[in-house]
Structure 1
């Protein structure tokens, strides 16, 4: 079995619908992809209270990362007068795609960047998982019953009174 051409196997672009137009964001160069992943990792470390690599964060600040990750779609959005929040959301969606995958980018896009909308709420998770619709009572952890306790005094040898 021979390997197929990799370009035929990978999604090498994402399409972002904005204001009735579809913007195509091509896959970035390896350099931009590696820099984007390093930046996202450094930001995650800093968000968790760790010490981020200041050189990585400094390098990212020196360059126009949004232009890099959006490619030609960046200039098209600017020419079309796209507002800042939209451009920013598109760029971060592209960064998620680069650092993770297309599915994660679609989730981010659909959630409009709102973290509370990224994870479904408990009711939605339960309805999708096929889990039980009610919780067993606290006294029953397995759903099985136990033998009833013997009546008071039953089963004990009667004590003799002296």
Structure 2
């Protein structure tokens, strides 16, 4: 065994537990197992295609990705065995939010999924923290002294020193 590497199962979360209020008013925790490697790759491919389309809607997407999209039920791939139970017990908004959280978990990791989940799917809910971080970094950049100007008490430029040397 390679030195320094932990066994992957010791630290990699391979499931997701999401508490959701069901149609009957009860809160249930849905346990979502990590997808198979094949389903994980499909979810990532579809996310990549979606991001490309959002960035450049005029560009035609990869035809094979569209074929995969037509054949693949993204939510079913992301939710796995939990799909049918969630479909039966949740209204559309909660089902969709849970499925999209699972998609983000698969494609971008636990932190992205948790941020999405806790925002209620509203990107503006994560905006203030980002805006505050941007402002803080902007203030830090402005407070960082810029390269000293050549005026004042700094060392004169080489041409000024050369002129002074020729005068004496």
Relative to the length of structure 2, the TM-score reads 0.69
Alignment match, 2:92? 84
Q: Distance in 2 between matches of 1:106 and 1:11?
A: 13
Q: Contact (CA 8 Å) 1:12, 1:27: kept in 2 or not? A: yes
The CA deviation string for residues 32-81 of structure 1, in whole angstroms up to 9 with x for no partner, is 1111111111111111114321321331232222111101221221232x
Alignment match, 1:14? 16
Question: What is the RMSD of the two structures over their aligned residues, measured on CA atoms?
Answer: 2.8
Task: Please state which structure has a larger fraction of its residues in helix.
Answer: 2
Pairwise CA distance, 1:28: 0.3
* Residue number among 67, 80, 83 corresponding to 1:71 in the alignment: 80
Structure 2 counterpart SS, 1:71: helix
Structure 2 counterpart SS, 1:120: helix
* Residue number among 41, 44, 48 corresponding to 1:41 in the alignment: 48
Q: Distance in 2 between matches of 1:122 and 1:65?
A: 29
Residue pairs, 1:100-139, within 5 angstroms? 100-120=108-128, 124-125=132-133
Q: CA separation of 1:8/1:56 partners in 2, compared to 1, >3 Å: closer, same or farther?
A: same
Pairwise CA distance, 1:115: 1.9
Pairwise CA distance, 1:123: 6.6
Pairwise CA distance, 1:95: 0.7
* Residue number among 51, 56, 61 corresponding to 2:65 in the alignment: 56
Q: Distance in 2 between matches of 1:73 and 1:52?
A: 30
Alignment match, 2:6? 4
Q: Distance in 1 between matches of 2:130 and 2:74?
A: 36
Q: Contact (CA 8 Å) 2:43, 2:77: kept in 1 or not? A: no
Q: Distance in 2 between matches of 1:8 and 1:68?
A: 25
Pairwise CA distance, 1:7: 1.7
Alignment match, 2:32? 25
The CA deviation string for residues 78-97 of structure 1, in whole angstroms up to 9 with x for no partner, is 232x0111111111111111
Unaligned runs of 5+ in 2: 22-26, 147-151, 153-168
Q: CA separation of 1:123/1:27 partners in 2, compared to 1, >3 Å: closer, same or farther?
A: closer
